[in-house]
Structure 1
Amino acid sequence: MQLTKFGHACVRISDGDRRLAIDPGVFTDVAQALADIDAVLITHEHPDHIDVDKLAAAAGQNPALRVWAPKSVADQLAGNEVLSERVTAVGPGQSFVAGGLQVRTYGGQHALIHSSIPVISNVGYLVGDAVYHPGDSYVVPNAIVEAVLVPINAPWSKLAEAMDFTVSVRAARAFQIHDGLLNDIGRGLYESQLGRIGEFHGVTRFQHLDAGESVDL
């Protein structure tokens, strides 16, 4: 299985001719991320996780492309001429096949940003019983995970939470996502601490991935 990191929170997961992409948002080169992709998973409705116009453009060029997303996102896409019939609403506790890969869902709610901001739906995805993408949450799946994608910076998070999440999932490997708001200095600080805590507990090896970089799992 191969994991490819794109901008911010977007990744592509492939295993031979089975492949899917997660969260192609506005900080991502969506056309590149969705090249030869028939299955797209969306964790929630925020634009840094879904660029509706570019997703619709990709779907217009690929009649086979299908999308799985929380009901709130599916409802928003119901009025889109291209995507309205391509979206399947999903929630936590489900299992399905997307792009030939087995997917299980977790969570249900976006992490709290502030009491004045309503909490929205958020679905985390465990792909191929190997790679876990939590979206904008630190919900820990009740499953063995080979590789965890760790949101390292967000308006709703702090570093201590990212570190606790990494330790709690206890995956053998961890990679950063949700880093689009960081410069190189900030990214290095966050990642050094995640690497340190993984090494301290002797379970998780943290590895930085540049945009467009792939790693075999």
Structure 2
Amino acid sequence: MTNFIVPDLKITPRTGGYARGQDGFEHILRSALALLVNHGSAALTLRRIATESGMNVGNLNYYFRSKEELIRELLNAVISSYEESFDEIVHEAGATAEARLENLVMLILEDITTKKTTRFFPELWAMANHDPFVYDRMNELYDRARVSLNELIGEINPALPEDERKILALFISASMEGMTMFAGYEKPWRAQMPMLEIIARRSFIQLVSTLRPGEIKGDLSIGGS
């Protein structure tokens, strides 16, 4: 797989009467992302976003009627960029499911080392602890992000039932996300990320390939046949 960084945002073109405001719409979302990454969630106010975008709050309200609407659009643009990148890997022609899973793991772990990802997601996690709206949007975001993992798990181990594939995808996703605080941008173990990638790729492939139906529910003995 060619190494690349997931685009910061994938913004769906607006239609109808909103199409004329596409440039302003995108500029505001990029300004909001920059504020969150560089200054944290406390800076994510409509007034601060408007200033960062070079406009007043009244102009900002033309594009977004509320902070919640802006956050919804920002998170949608972020996860859409991941979905596009994941889809490219998952449906790579001629590659085995195991190779595609390895490539997906590599992409995610390499993306974790970027400043945007290391700063953006922990800020959202903190916001989700106190804001039900952000909490719901984050759950939606990660549900969408795990679709690709779930698909590859099903290809590699089709005997696993759907509910167990979802749990396994959650475990793999959470294991990689956990690296953010240790090996992300400017974190203590950043230089060791290549070694962590090797461990992750091998262990996840082994786990997905060998897990038997019912095993994670305790339906089979540890040493069963």
TM-score, structure 1 length as denominator?
A: 0.30
Give 1 or 2: higher strand fraction.
1
Give 1 or 2: higher helix fraction.
2
TM-score, structure 2 length as denominator?
A: 0.29
